């Protein structure tokens, strides 16, 4: 069973967005906001917060399924994301199980840039919507 979900396309990452996310999250590590620091760290500039990218994946899940149906969400980060990149969240349903009296859908997701580089991959479990 491999049922694709509608891809969710995000706007391009901006430096301003990273500064705003730093303020909202409390993560003021300068590799995310100060270009010379990112360069000095050998990153070639600033990089996006991993949790911002995970947040995009979470937003996609909330668009695909009611939030109260989410039972599990795990991710693994694989590549750095930089300002100027546009990310898309892809997902699919991979299986169905019954657990604790609930019919659950199991799925996988990936966040990729325009070149197809996987920035994050993950799995999720949600309550199966009633027909």
Tens-digit pLDDT profile for the chain (131 aa)? 689 999 999 999 999 999 999 999 999 999 999 999 999 999 999 999 999 999 999 999 999 999 999 999 999 999 999 999 999 999 999 999 999 999 999 999 999 999 999 999 999 999 998 86
- Taking alpha carbons only, the member of 41, 87, 14 closest to residue 30 is 41
- The pTM for the full model equals 0.94
User: Tokens standing for 109?
Assistant: 């997701």
- 30 secondary structure, DSSP code: G
Residues ≥6 apart with Cβ < 8 Å to 102: 71, 127, 128
Residue 103 host element (H or E):
strand 102-112
Closest CA to 59 of 27, 103, 91: 91
Tokens of 105: 């859908």
């Amino acid at each position: 069973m491999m049922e694709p979900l509608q891809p969710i396309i995000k706007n391009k990452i901006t430096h301003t967005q990273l500064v705003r996310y730093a303020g909202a999250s409390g993560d003021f590590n300068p590799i995310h906001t100060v270009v010379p620091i990112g360069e000095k760290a050998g990153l070639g500039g600033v990089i996006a917060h991993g949790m911002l990218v995970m947040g995009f994946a979470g937003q996609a899940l909330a668009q695909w399924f009611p939030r109260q149906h989410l039972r599990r969400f795990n991710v693994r980060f694989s590549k750095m994301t930089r300002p100027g990149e546009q990310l898309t969240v892809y997902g699919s349903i991979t299986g169905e199980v019954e657990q604790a009296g609930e019919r659950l859908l199991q799925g996988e997701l990936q966040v990729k840039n325009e070149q197809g580089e996987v920035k994050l991959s993950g799995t999720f479990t949600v309550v199966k919507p009633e027909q």
